[in-house]
Amino acid sequence: MSIDKAFIQTLISRIDLIDLIDGRVPLRKKSNANYFACCPFHSEKSASFSVSQPKQFYYCFGCGAHGNAIDFLMQYDRLSFPEAIEALAKQAGMEIPHESTTRAKPAVSPDLYDALLTVLKYYQTELRQSERAINYLKQRGISGAAARDFCIGFAPAGWDHLQKHVKDPKTLLEAGMLIKKDEGGYYDRFRDRIMFPIHDRRGRVIGFGGRILDKGEPKYLNSPETPVFQKGHELYGLHQVLTAHRELSRAMIVEGYMDVIALAQHGVDYAVATLGTATTAQHIQRLSRHTSHIIFCFDGDTAGRTAAWRALLVALPIMRDDIQIQFMFLPDGEDPDTLIRKEGKVDFEKRIETALPLSTFFFHMMSASADFSSVDGRARFVNACMEHLRQLPEGLFQKMMLDTLAKKARLDKVELSPSKKSEPVKKMRSPAARAPSMVRLAITLLVQNPALALCVTEPSFLSETPGTALLFELIDTIQQHSLPTTGALLEHWRDHADRKWLEKCIKDEHIIPLNDMKSEFLGAINQLKKAANKQQIELLLAKASQNALSLEEKQRLQTLFCEK
């Protein structure tokens, strides 16, 4: 979803961060326009979470959490970027304009959610009336409480129960609950099945999974893809897990609904399941928004190992340094459902402690077919590993994996570079990160007090000094879009390579009295200008010594001397 940037800026300027946060985390006013609270993002006894009214920016001195109103909603309410915008727009009473370039997506009618909720209630009523279905659940060991928590229902045998119950077949067809007959009319998709509703993260019913009661094929049947249900994105049980945990220290990914329910019923209430598909990057990304520790649980057989390897490959490109991924393999013939009933929570959780870290599982699988006795064999091993390790984002984890690889192949680690050819890997590093202290001071003052940009009346000048271009880009942007606060300014740089570096500048403490700020800032720019002049003069003089100056350049040199 692409949302007009100007709209986002207006939105941010209409929201007061203090009100927004205070509604969720009570704030205390400490000093001029600064508010404090115990940090909602890490546990602490003293208040190190600060919110600045003029900057419209929050920062925790304990854990480093920081950002503007959008970031806060993303972190605290665990919303995606578009969801956070949506929530803020609702609060501000504004309508989100969608850029015309946005792919025309069929609008999801709210009726679809209503219709699915009606279906859910119908299935639940049917379950209460079917002794046979209740007996089946009892025999599978599902408690009444678990059936209630997971809103389990029953679709009776027969072809037209659901459509008789609900008046609007068109909506039900769109929701995937009915199937169109060739000769006209509809029939129920789910018949004689235990029904497991699938909720989205916000708790709305978006689809169903149904298990056949007796013998029959297929054993499990899921709703088809609909405007509200995308299998590659949704995780069964995530809504229940998030309801049970405000802070989720870890989450487990298992294969089936019954596994999720049995685990929850026995106290392992942090498991989710993929919906009849292999794990996708979206699954992992969605889950990693709520926890930094993910445990994959697979059967110990060959099929399980293969599925685990596939999940590992999907996870590689999104392995941030702060994510921990483990692989847990169950004994032959067991699944989480059967195992948790046999051994209970404590013993089951002991298995997590011995689950393989991603790194161990990776090298275990890669080494299995490698020949370490010859140089050729080791080279092949290194090449095969590098193929995958290149997928890792740059960072500490990648470095450690490369170190391990070097040790295993008995190579010096300097010979291994993660880049595709032999080029150095500094692709995303911001040039501003090399900015000398003068530029850094100017940028820091500016991002902390965007209004300073309005004091700059001189046009920008060319300079070789790293960071100067960013400085003028900031001044320009603030002047053009009249961005009054740090929070608004940072939003403009959300997807920019320099954002991380700018965030650092926001956190820098400079003890400069408010009155002197303007002169410090203009002073810094002046110095930069002098340095740039000097660079230019040197350049032109060098050219002049070879008698290669144009008339224009000669005039320019003269002006520069005068200014000096």
Contact status, residue 521 vs residue 446, Cβ threshold 8 Å: yes
- Tokens 């067809």, residue located: 173
Strand order in the sheet with 153-155: 153-155, 193-199, 205-212, 220-222
Measured CA to CA, the distance from residue 525 to residue 458 in angstroms comes to: 10
**Smallest gap, in angstroms, from Cβ of residue 41 to Zn ion?**
5
- Tokens 């509703």, residue located: 197
State which residue, 66 or 201, has the beta carbon closest to Zn ion.
66
Contact status, residue 51 vs residue 27, Cβ threshold 8 Å: yes
DSSP state string for 75-95: HHS---HHHHHHHHHHHHT-P
**Smallest gap, in angstroms, from Cβ of residue 60 to Zn ion?**
3
**Smallest gap, in angstroms, from Cβ of residue 22 to Zn ion?**
17
Measured CA to CA, the distance from residue 247 to residue 229 in angstroms comes to: 26
| DSSP 8-state class, residue 332 | T
State which residue, 66 or 211, has the beta carbon closest to Zn ion.
66
**Smallest gap, in angstroms, from Cβ of residue 39 to Zn ion?**
3
Buried b (16+ CB within 10 A) or exposed e, 387-412: eebeebeeeebbeebbebbbebbeee
Cα-to-chain-centroid distance, residue 460: 37
What CA dihedral angle connects 412, 418, 424 and 427, to 10 degrees? -150
State which residue, 42 or 204, has the beta carbon closest to Zn ion.
42
**Smallest gap, in angstroms, from Cβ of residue 44 to Zn ion?**
7
* Length of the chain as a residue count: 564
State which residue, 63 or 400, has the beta carbon closest to Zn ion.
63
Measured CA to CA, the distance from residue 6 to residue 403 in angstroms comes to: 46
State which residue, 72 or 150, has the beta carbon closest to Zn ion.
72
Where along the sequence are the contacts to Zn ion (CB under 5 A)?
Answer: 39, 41-42, 60, 62-63, 65
State which residue, 43 or 360, has the beta carbon closest to Zn ion.
43
- CB atoms near residue 420 (< 10 Å): 9
**Exposed/middle/buried for 169, CB within 10 Å: 0-12, 13-18, 19+?**
middle
State which residue, 46 or 480, has the beta carbon closest to Zn ion.
46
**Smallest gap, in angstroms, from Cβ of residue 506 to Zn ion?**
16
**Smallest gap, in angstroms, from Cβ of residue 37 to Zn ion?**
10
Q: Which two tokens stand for residue 485?
A: 């606060």
State which residue, 44 or 149, has the beta carbon closest to Zn ion.
44
Handedness of CA 155, 158, 164, 166 (dihedral sign): positive
- Tokens 């959008």, residue located: 70
Measured CA to CA, the distance from residue 97 to residue 100 in angstroms comes to: 9
State which residue, 63 or 145, has the beta carbon closest to Zn ion.
63
**Smallest gap, in angstroms, from Cβ of residue 397 to Zn ion?**
23
**Smallest gap, in angstroms, from Cβ of residue 50 to Zn ion?**
10
State which residue, 50 or 163, has the beta carbon closest to Zn ion.
50
**Which residues have C-beta within 8 Å of that of residue 151, sequence separation ≥ 6?**
120, 124, 197, 205
Q: Which two tokens stand for residue 233?
A: 């994105």
**Smallest gap, in angstroms, from Cβ of residue 42 to Zn ion?**
4
State which residue, 66 or 199, has the beta carbon closest to Zn ion.
66
Give CA angle at 343 (237, 141), nearest 5°. Answer: 55
